[in-house]
Structure 1
């Protein structure tokens, strides 16, 4: 025994086994303590409560829901709402961030000043504070009769934004948006991945057209399948009485979350994009000009692709962090995943089970998003130093 203790490999293995054993003991102890406390309070554990009716409704849902539906369905409602909010907010934040990043490296003094002021303001204010600010602004807008009008088809007032829309179910729109995101990812992969570098240009163009035509056909099929019976396909909001009828109503709560996350995330993404452009050597642009490329061609074919490759790992982290920020919806009353779980805990008392569902949901969503984006990063990143002798 003494000889074994003198062996470093035995001591290392024993310490690791002991550490794992202590962790298992702690987990078992916590589980038994929690079960004892729940039994003392007359509370049952397990996930059987998911089949019980909630008895309460939600203000926003992409799928049909009423008070007689189960806890499992209301959790699905919250999850889909968070995914919907995240998809819109991350897309808008990316567009804003790219625009701000370009402004900050444009060489135009006024554009650089505007970009710098934007970043310094919105990056340094807490996201929750910005959500409260935008909610206060949106809820103090004029009444429907005095709503702000945009082209006679879109309106903005204290009850939300009213936009032209299709008379289809929200779930069909959600599926079409997911299909669009997948199509964009495949298109970027086709254009940027090394394995397609030797593909003939006309074949690559044909594949690109096929992708977009396939998405268009799938989107039309999804929207047609989700069409609400006995209604016109296109609905334009019109003022009738004291409120608008028809079209799509975007509630102040949802609009607040979209604006706050997009503006806040755009400031961070703008700095990431600026760092990517600065990482591209001036010699690359000079070589493009020497080959006769215009400024726009140099930007789109040299600087932008190299900048995206340089910042993709940082963008992945930022996207994961921004999606977690969708939980601010509870502060303004938006029915997101976190709010549904919190309400379910208050109504059912199944705290441990619901927190486990919340943690598992965010873990699966963020890991899936990071995995997909990491595969994209592996496909487009440059190997080695790219030096040639």
Structure 2
């Protein structure tokens, strides 16, 4: 028997074993589902997703769109998914920015800056996230009321009722269209133009704000100002938009915790940059700022991106702790829906599927970015 025949037989055996494994897995899943249905029937509980069309009859604290107690379970869970993605996106962006700043400070030679950054990392990385969240929530709910609110240049106000900030009078549909174009624009410019990265970035930074203003002008109610600013009237603020206490506490807790881990990732990446390249930059007269931008950061990113992606996924999963303070993310709304409807398996399946889709998308984006950052062989 020649080598070709041996390889063919080994391949056939592997395929047969894999097929048997798939069949066995399918049998186990079918058996588990059938057993679950029988047990639910014995208990008098219905199965399936028909409950999604029923009204919930209960409300919750935060939503990006209008809500009512007459919303169906499908709409309520959609709102929960939107809240989770919204919180996760904000936390990822802010954690990354703060983490890069702290990580750079950790790599600095200045003793004071390095010590402060080290203390930040050690404090916020070693205290459990849920404990930090409860602490910040307790601090925020004990802030003074609207009349004694903490103000920032009379534009933003922080009180025990939330953070009041200015808001554009833009419709949700117009904002969604602008956001979609903002995400697609870098790819469109790369495909249809021969511009370099810096040129595409400048075009993006000019185009998107202009589109936001244009969309606001076209979609705002007649006679309404371009920007609505919060104003104190009586015992409450009117105008602008109010960020709930729960959301503020979630952002603070997750950002501080996540940035401490990202800072260590950044510091490790910066220390991996060969010292010879830094010395070469100094030799040609580059300033410390230019060395960081032109040498250290581009080289470090190739090391930073893979573990950074893991931290982004962790931050997204960390949004589930909002149930501890009543933030209406998907996890909390699924938990409440289970209590109200009794559809445990279906709702847990929906929760798992949504987080799988979100985190898989983040992982794929990180893989694409990592591939783009690798040095190309010529």
Structure-to-structure mapping, 1:270-285, within 5 angstroms: 270-285=263-278
Partner SS state of residue 242, structure 2: strand
Structure 2: distance between partners of 1:250 and 1:244? 12
Instruction: Name the residue aligned to 1:237.
Output: 230
1:180-199 CA-to-partner distances (Å, cap 9, x unmatched) read: 4555x659x96xxxxx9xx6
Structure 2 residue 110 is the aligned partner of structure 1 residue 80: no
Cα distance, 1:370–1:206 mapped onto 2, change above 3 Å? same
Instruction: Name the residue aligned to 2:67.
Output: 65
Cα distance, 1:271–1:153 mapped onto 2, change above 3 Å? same
Structure 2: distance between partners of 1:132 and 1:178? 35
Cα distance, 1:25–1:225 mapped onto 2, change above 3 Å? farther
- Which one of 47, 50, 61 corresponds to residue 49 of structure 2? 47
The answer to whether the Cα contact below 8 Å between 2:170 and 2:215 also exists between their aligned partners in 1 is: no
Structure 1: distance between partners of 2:153 and 2:141? 22
Cα distance, 1:204–1:364 mapped onto 2, change above 3 Å? closer
Structure 2: distance between partners of 1:23 and 1:149? 59
Deviation at 1:205, TM superposition (A): 5.1
1:241-267 CA-to-partner distances (Å, cap 9, x unmatched) read: 112221121111000100011000000
Structure 2 residue 355 is the aligned partner of structure 1 residue 358: no
1:364-387 CA-to-partner distances (Å, cap 9, x unmatched) read: 111111112211110111247x9x
Structure-to-structure mapping, 1:4-153, within 5 angstroms: 16-153=18-155
The answer to whether the Cα contact below 8 Å between 1:63 and 1:169 also exists between their aligned partners in 2 is: no
Task: Name whichever of 140-149 and 92-101 sits farther off.
Answer: 140-149
Structure 2: distance between partners of 1:174 and 1:352? 32
Task: Name whichever of 313-322 and 37-46 sits farther off.
Answer: 37-46
Structure 2: distance between partners of 1:224 and 1:83? 27
Partner SS state of residue 123, structure 1: helix
The answer for unaligned runs of 5 or more in structure 2 is 1-8
**TM, length-normalised to structure 2:** 0.89
**TM, length-normalised to structure 1:** 0.86
- Which one of 243, 262, 283 corresponds to residue 269 of structure 1? 262
Deviation at 1:207, TM superposition (A): 3.7
Structure 2 residue 256 is the aligned partner of structure 1 residue 254: no
Structure 1: distance between partners of 2:92 and 2:132? 17
Deviation at 1:233, TM superposition (A): 2.6
Instruction: Name the residue aligned to 1:160.
Output: 162
Deviation at 1:310, TM superposition (A): 1.3
Deviation at 1:342, TM superposition (A): 1.2
Instruction: Name the residue aligned to 2:334.
Output: 341
Deviation at 1:174, TM superposition (A): 5.7
Partner SS state of residue 126, structure 2: coil
Structure 2 residue 284 is the aligned partner of structure 1 residue 291: yes
Cα distance, 1:204–1:79 mapped onto 2, change above 3 Å? closer
Structure 2: distance between partners of 1:57 and 1:95? 35
Structure 2: distance between partners of 1:170 and 1:257? 23
Structure 2: distance between partners of 1:353 and 1:226? 39
Instruction: Name the residue aligned to 2:3.
Output: none
